Structure 1
Amino acid sequence: MILIFEGMNDLLDEIKTKYREDTFKMLKEIEFTYYNQSEMKTINDFIVAYSSSNFTSIRFDWNNKHSKDFIDANAEYRSKVSIYYILHCDDNTNPLLLKDLFCEQSKHDEEAWGASGFLFMLGEKLLSATGSQYIYEFLESAMRSFDTYGCCSSIRLDDKLVNELGLGIEELIEISSGNRVAIKLLNDGLEYINNFLS
């Protein structure tokens, strides 16, 4: 029975690797049709200069409708900024922007009843850049829906970072006594993060 389970883990790892590779390849392929030259410079400037005062241009701006009536006024721009960041920016270029992109995209994905293929790449960059600084926001966003949870299972983290994140979550659990919602999220999050151990 253990051999079958280990074989399943290997198969799941292969599937996740293929998914990551295919997603990155797709983003690279659409890059030259998704952006025009001047737009890429404008987006790069936005990323470098981003602060909380620019939040309104990437926030989840939803019309409170679903299915064919669903509108998020900032979806296209936020996607363009996200994809550009993934393809062209170091993790540490602008951690605040990474956090805001990840959180707002997860809100979009929850209400759009799906998950953007690049969501896990934003999450991975966020955790790599900030460690446990935004771990609560990460968990809240990654665990927002079944789809966001599933997409974020493709994140890859080294054991050192997983251990750092686990310690950060444990510290938050200690200071969150009395807040049952936060404690539940953090306990579930600790289990979720520990699944990334190799």
Structure 2
Amino acid sequence: MSQKSTKNNYKENFLNILAEVEDTYYKSQEISTIRRFIEEYNPTNDFLKICFSRSGGNGIEFKDRNQDFRDKIAIYICLNTDVTVSPLLLSDLIQETGKASRDSWGAPEYLFLLSERLLKETGGKYIETFGEMLFSNMDTYGACIGIDFKNIDILGILDELKRKEQKDKLILDLIEYFEAQL
């Protein structure tokens, strides 16, 4: 089985599982609140509702007061591709999920879907945010293995990365990462 076929099967299976539990995951009154939050996202007023908010130890003792709401927003976005999502909301979700993943010693499986959507819709605009999340730990990197690059402008992203005057380790690592996707 080809790698592309395996990725597509994983993505389809994962989305099917999410769709099967969607009705029980969300309370009926939550859907309108979540949709409104997504459609009207304003970082000045709304960022504190999704930001990483540590209030405990690491691993099993880890607590993030905003994780449940952030997960509900992210999963709704993954399941409802017809919903218009602010690129800044996608970027903020990826950034904060990456921060939480470092301390929780794990990354949510949906992270590859959010990352794929961010890269597809914004190209290189938030590439450093994506890179910081991707390379922050093994869990986030592993969660992003499922990204399907067929509708992502890899050459455009690479061009943008290579044109940067300051090429720190993050930029060089991103160049290597995207070159490997060609």
> Which residue of the other structure, out of 68, 71, 82, is the alignment partner of 1:79?
71
Instruction: Give the structure 2 partner of residue 50 of structure 1.
Output: 41
Could you tell me how far 1:160 is from its partner in structure 2? Answer: 6.4
AA in 2 matched with 1:158 = K
- The answer (yes or no) to whether the contact 1:91–1:126 under 8 Å persists in 2 is no
* SS of equivalent to 1:153: helix
Q: In proportion to residue count, which structure has more helix?
A: 1
Change (3 A) 1:88 1:159: closer
Could you tell me how far 1:12 is from its partner in structure 2? Answer: 3.7
Instruction: Give the structure 2 partner of residue 189 of structure 1.
Output: 174
Indicate whether 1:40 and 2:25 are aligned: no
- The answer (yes or no) to whether the contact 1:91–1:128 under 8 Å persists in 2 is no
- The answer (yes or no) to whether the contact 2:75–2:110 under 8 Å persists in 1 is yes
Distance 1:115 1:67 in 2: 11
AA in 2 matched with 1:155 = I
- The answer (yes or no) to whether the contact 1:103–1:138 under 8 Å persists in 2 is yes
After TM superposition, the structure 1 = structure 2 runs for residues 1-198 of structure 1, keeping only pairs within 5 Å, are 11-53=2-44, 54-90=46-82, 93-158=85-150, 161-172=153-164, 174=165, 176=166, 183-197=168-182
- The answer (yes or no) to whether the contact 1:61–1:72 under 8 Å persists in 2 is yes
Where relative contact order (Cα < 8 A, 6+ residues apart) is larger, the structure is 2
CA-based RMSD: 1.7
Distance 1:160 1:16 in 2: 15
Could you tell me how far 1:11 is from its partner in structure 2? Answer: 4.5
Change (3 A) 1:123 1:166: same
* SS of equivalent to 1:132: coil
Deviations 1:73-100 (A, max 9, x none): 0000000000111111447521110110
Unaligned runs of 5+ in 1: 1-9, 178-182
* SS of equivalent to 2:146: coil
AA in 1 matched with 2:43 = S
Larger Rg belongs to: 1
* SS of equivalent to 2:153: helix
Aligned residues with identical type, % of pairs: 35
Query: TM-score when scaled to structure 1?
Result: 0.85
Distance 2:90 2:110 in 1: 12
Could you tell me how far 1:17 is from its partner in structure 2? Answer: 2.7
Change (3 A) 1:74 1:128: same
How many aligned positions are there?
181
Return structure 1 stretches of 4+ with deviation > 3 angstroms.
10-15, 89-92
